[in-house]
Amino acid sequence: MQDPKNMTCEEFQAQMAELIGSGEDLSVHPHVQTCTLCRALLNELETIAEAARQLFPVEDPPDTLWEKLETAIKEEGNQTRS
Amino acid sequence: MQAHDSSPRAATASGNPPIEMPSRKTAASLQTADVEPASTGEVAAPSVAGAEADVLSRAQAGDHHAFAQLYSLHKRRIYSLCLRMVGNVAEAEDLTQEAFLQLHRKIATFRGDSAFSTWLHRLAINVVLMHLRKKGLSVISLDEAMEPTPEEGPGRSFGAPDLSLTGSIDRLALERAIAELPAGYRLIFVLHDIEGYEHNEIAAMLDCSIGNSKSQLHKARLKLRDAMRTIPRREGRR
Ligand SMILES: [Zn+2]
């Protein structure tokens, strides 16, 4: 357990995955408050995570897929019956 | 009082898009994972839920028409999931088909311990994982991921903060960067940041520790950040 106030950037970044994953609000972390570099890093990661949520709109598969699936289901039914 | 009275309700359900959404994070921060408020509106309206339950039980009893309805209710989400995880339309179609084929095989075993959509979603994820493993992609090469290589050790991410990431992000570049992530990173990134799963759920699905899930997600984001700051000029790479 390091003292969060006296962390180096390396120490902070080594713990970053765990800190972020823990659900804490990192913007109030003493190191983040005093270190522009780590604050910027955090912001960038946040920007990426947010942008990713906007990506890949949901879309429908082509209609032909149901036909293929039906065929496959029937084939399987025939096999298991024999 | 026979079972037929429910068919009109069931019929209306088939035209509706799936209602349940993955437990989305609020876009406010990175670390929303463990603190999801209970009140996100992800509960389906009762009438539709009832109709789906009815379709479901008929499909479980072997009714092909009901199975077709389940397919049209869920195809969009399952296909989108596959597409995100493999990043390739043809494979995503195959995997969607495989997922529903497995659904057809296993549907009678669904017991309602979880929401059906969650169950199906996991089934689809397993199909994708199996596919990736078959292709020889080490889906989760955790040891590799956990062990900081010289250029990936702590401190490396430490760089000039002035990349143009703070404003708008080039969507295409980000999509490309995600597609180019190693499979294990991409999976966790997709599951967590896009599909909205939490670390404990991901850990259970991928059979890894929660710490690994957190660490891989973080690395995936760092990799994306690096990819975004060195905006790829080498377009043609596959
Ligand atoms: Zn710092």
ipTM entry:
0.79
Residue B219, CA distances (Å) to A18, A19, B87, B185 in order: 11, 13, 20, 7
A51 CB contacts (<8 Å, ≥6 apart)? B169, B171, B174
Q: Nearest C-alpha of chain A: how many angstroms from B191?
A: 11
In a domain, B128, yes or no: yes
* Res B138: pLDDT: 54
Which CATH number does the domain housing residue B215 bear? 1.10.10.10
Taking the centre of ligand 1 as the mean of its atom positions, its distance from the CA of residue A48, in whole angstroms, is 19
The one-letter amino acid code at B75 reads K
Q: Nearest C-alpha of chain A: how many angstroms from B79?
A: 6
Residues B94, B188, single domain; the answer is no
Residues B146, B197, single domain; the answer is yes
Taking the centre of ligand 1 as the mean of its atom positions, its distance from the CA of residue B85, in whole angstroms, is 33
Q: Nearest C-alpha of chain B: how many angstroms from A78?
A: 13
In a domain, B45, yes or no: yes
* Res B176: pLDDT: 85
In a domain, B10, yes or no: no
Where does residue B181 fall: left (phi above 0), alpha (psi -120 to 50 degrees), or beta otherwise?
Answer: beta
| Residue in B with minimal Cα distance to A46 | B30
How far apart, in Å, do the first and last CA atoms of chain A sit?
65
User: Is the per-residue pLDDT at A69 higher than 70?
Assistant: yes
Taking the centre of ligand 1 as the mean of its atom positions, its distance from the CA of residue B188, in whole angstroms, is 26
Residues B124, B166, single domain; the answer is no
Residue-number span of the structural domain to which B182 is assigned: 142-150+159-230
* Res B26: pLDDT: 36
Q: How far apart are CA B28 and CA A47, in angstroms?
A: 10
Which among A50, A52, A73 has CB closest to B178?
A52
Residues B28, B117, single domain; the answer is yes
Residues B106, B209, single domain; the answer is no
Q: How far apart are CA B81 and CA B79, in angstroms?
A: 5
Q: Nearest C-alpha of chain A: how many angstroms from B181?
A: 13
* Res A76: pLDDT: 86
Residues B32, B127, single domain; the answer is yes
Secondary structure E strands in A1-82:
none
Rounded to 5 degrees, what angle do the CA atoms B196, A61, B62 make? 90
Q: pLDDT band at A33, cuts 50/70/90?
A: very high
Q: Do A20 and B31 touch (CB under 8 A)?
A: yes
Q: Which residues from B are below 8 Å from A69, CB to CB?
A: 71, 97, 100-101
In a domain, B69, yes or no: yes
Q: Do A9 and B155 touch (CB under 8 A)?
A: yes
Total domains in chain B come to 2
Q: Which residues from B are below 8 Å from A55, CB to CB?
A: 171, 174-175, 178, 194
Highest mean pLDDT among A23-27, A66-70, B141-145, B203-207: A66-70
Q: Do A76 and B101 touch (CB under 8 A)?
A: yes
Residues B96, B186, single domain; the answer is no
- pLDDT by position in tens, chain B (length 238): 444 444 333 333 334 433 333 443 333 446 443 333 334 344 445 566 778 888 999 999 999 999 999 999 999 999 998 988 887 889 999 999 999 999 999 999 998 877 898 889 889 999 998 898 787 665 554 444 444 443 444 444 444 444 455 556 788 888 888 888 887 888 899 989 888 889 998 888 777 899 999 999 999 999 999 888 765 444 444 4
Residues B127, B175, single domain; the answer is no
Taking the centre of ligand 1 as the mean of its atom positions, its distance from the CA of residue A45, in whole angstroms, is 14
Q: How far apart are CA B221 and CA B38, in angstroms?
A: 27
Q: Do B79 and A54 touch (CB under 8 A)?
A: no
Interchain CB contacts (distance < 8 Å): A and B: 155
| Residue in A with minimal Cα distance to B178 | A52
Which CATH number does the domain housing residue B79 bear? 1.10.1740.10
Residue pair B124/B94 in contact (Cβ under 8 Å)? The answer is no
Among the three residues B134, B168, B201, which one is the final residue of a domain in this structure? B134
Residues B193, B224, single domain; the answer is yes
Q: Which two tokens stand for residue B185?
A: 């990173």
